[in-house]
Amino acid sequence: PPTFDVEAIRRDFPILSQQVNGKPLVYLDNGASAQKPEAVLNAMDRYYREMHSNVHRGAHTLGDRATAAFEGARETVRRFLNAESTREIIWTRGTTEAINLVANGLAPRLKPGDEILVSHMEHHANIVPWQMIAERTGARVLPIQVTPDGELDLDSFHSLLNDRTRILALTHVSNVLGTVNPVAPLIEEAKKRGILTLIDGAQAVPHFQPDVRALDCDFYVFSSHKVFGPTGIGVLYGRAQLLEEMPPYQGGGEMIERVSFERTTWNVLPYKFEAGTPAIAEAVGLGAALDYLGGLDRAAVEAAENALLARANELVDSVPGMKIIGTAREKVPVMSFKIEGLHPSDIGTLLDQQGIAIRTGHHCAMPLMDFYGVPGTARASFAFYNTLEEVDRLFTGLQKIQRLFA
Ligand code: PMP
C-alpha cells in the first residue's frame, strides 16, 4: 500500500513551519510558486561552498566540478522527462523564456495566413509570444474554446484544424482551473497533419511526471520554481531534429563554434541555445528538486493530493455563495472560486490576516477571466505537503469572512 507521512514531508520544507500574522502559515499558493525542500537548499549551498566556477572552460578542478554538477542536472532532467538525449534539454530562465525561444525559432517557417492554435485557457506566456511572432510573420493565433466546466472543447479543436494550421501550443494543466488536458490524442491528431506541438507543462510537473516520448510532442516546457526548485531556471525539451533546424535565440559566448568577422558558426546542441554564463547553481538546485521528487512514492503523493481536493470540494457548500470555477473531470488540486458579495482581492487580504496564503486576480489568463465574466478569481492551489487540517482552516477562514463581510 502507498505510504505517505505528510508530517515527515513537511519537515523537509523549513519555510512551512513559521507563523504569519500570528497564525501558523497555511501556504496554498503553490501554483504561483512552490516551496523548496532542504535537499534543494543544501545542494545549492554545497555547490557554492565547494564547486563554484564557470562551466565548460576545462581549465581547472573547480571548473570541472561545476561542469559535472551542471551537466549532471541536465541528465536528471532528461531522465525526468524521458527524453532521448541531453542534446534535447535546453536550460532557459523559465517557461516564459522557453516559449519565446520556440516561437522565435519557428518564425522562419511561418508565412501570412498560417495558423497557430492555442486554447482559451492559456497563461499569457503561451499566448503573447505567439501573437508577437504572428505580428512579424502575418500568421494568426486562434483559440480553441473551453466548455463552461473548464474543459477543452474538442469539437472546437477539430473544427479549427485545417491545412493552414502549423502549430498547436497547449497547456498540459490550466493554472486557473486545474484542468488536466487530454494532450496525447490532440498531439497525435496534430502530428497526422504535420502540425508542430508545444506543451506548456508549468502546472503539470508539480503533480505528475510527463513522458515526452510517450506524448510524442515536439516541445515540452516547464519552470523549476513551480516544481520545488529555485527561481531563475526552466527547461525546454525539443525534438533534436527541430532544434537543429531552428536558428539560435540569443547570440554571445558559449553558443558559438567559431567566431570571425567573416563568418560565425553555432555550437552543437544544446549549447547553441545557451548564450552566456548559465544559471549553474539553479540547475543544480532543480536537479536536486527532481531527485527529491523521485524519492517520493508518486502514487501515494497523487492519492494525498486527490484527498486534499476532495476535502475542499466537500466543504464548498459550507460557505454560502461560494462557487467553484473549473469543474473538469480530470483535475490537479487547484481550486479557483468566487464568493457572492466579496471581491477576490478582499478574500485574499482577509485570509492573509489569518496566516493563509492564496492567490487572487486574473492569474495571467485574462481571456479566461473574460470567458467566465469575472475580473479575477481567488485560487487555492495545493501541494503534497499541504494537510487536510489546512484545507479545513481555509474553509473556516472563508466561512468567517463570508459571515462578516459578504
Ligand atoms: N504557463 C503556465 C500554465 C503557468 O502557470 C505559468 C506560471 N504561472 C507560466 C506559464 C509562466 O511561468 P514562468 O513565469 O515561470 O515563466
What is the DSSP track for 126-195? GTHHHHHHHHHHT-EEEEEPB-TTS-B-HHHHHHH--TTEEEEEEESB-TTT-BB--HHHHHHHHHHTT-
What global pTM score does this model have?
A: 0.98
CA of 379 to the centre of ligand 1 (A): 15
Name the DSSP letter for residue 340: T
**Residue to mutate, 97, 119, 203, ligand 1, most ligand atoms under 8 Å from C-beta:** 203
Pairwise CA distance, residues 188 & 278, whole Å: 34
CA of 235 to the centre of ligand 1 (A): 12
CA of 228 to the centre of ligand 1 (A): 14
Pairwise CA distance, residues 307 & 387, whole Å: 9
For the segment 359-388, what is each residue's pLDDT rounded down to a tens digit? 999 999 999 999 999 999 999 999 999 999
What is the residue with the minimal CA distance to atom 5 of ligand 1?
175
Average pLDDT over residues 48-57: 94
According to CATH, the superfamily of the domain at 6-29+297-405 is Aspartate Aminotransferase, domain 1 (3.90.1150.10)
| Closest listed residue to residue 280, CA positions, set 36, 13, 57, 14 | 57
Vertex 309 angle, CA 217 and 348, to 5°: 100
User: What pLDDT, on the 0 to 100 scale, is given for residue 183?
Assistant: 98
For the segment 208-222, what is each residue's pLDDT rounded down to a tens digit? 999 999 999 999 999
Q: Which residues pair with 168 in a beta bridge?
A: 117, 197
* Ligand 1 atom at shortest distance from the alpha carbon of 364: 8
**Residue 364: active-site member:** yes
The residues, ordered by sequence, that sit 6+ positions from 165 with a Cβ below 8 Å of its Cβ are 114, 115, 116, 117, 190, 193, 195
* CATH class entry, domain 52-294: alpha beta
CB atoms within 10 A of CB 208: 16
Q: Is the pLDDT of residue 58 over 80?
A: no
Whether complex ipTM tops 0.90: yes
Helix 128-137 with 95-106: angle, nearest 10 deg: 20
Q: What would the grid cell of residue 240 be?
A: 533534436
For the segment 191-242, what is each residue's pLDDT rounded down to a tens digit? 999 999 999 999 999 999 999 999 999 999 999 999 999 999 999 999 999 9
Pairwise CA distance, residues 356 & 379, whole Å: 12
Sorted by where each begins, the domain ranges of the chain are 6-29+297-405, 52-294
* Ligand 1 atom at shortest distance from the alpha carbon of 125: 10
Q: Which residues sit with their C-beta closer than 6 Å to ligand 1?
A: 94-96, 123, 125-126, 171, 175, 200, 202-203, 223, 364
Q: Is the pLDDT of residue 116 over 90?
A: yes
Pairwise CA distance, residues 312 & 289, whole Å: 27
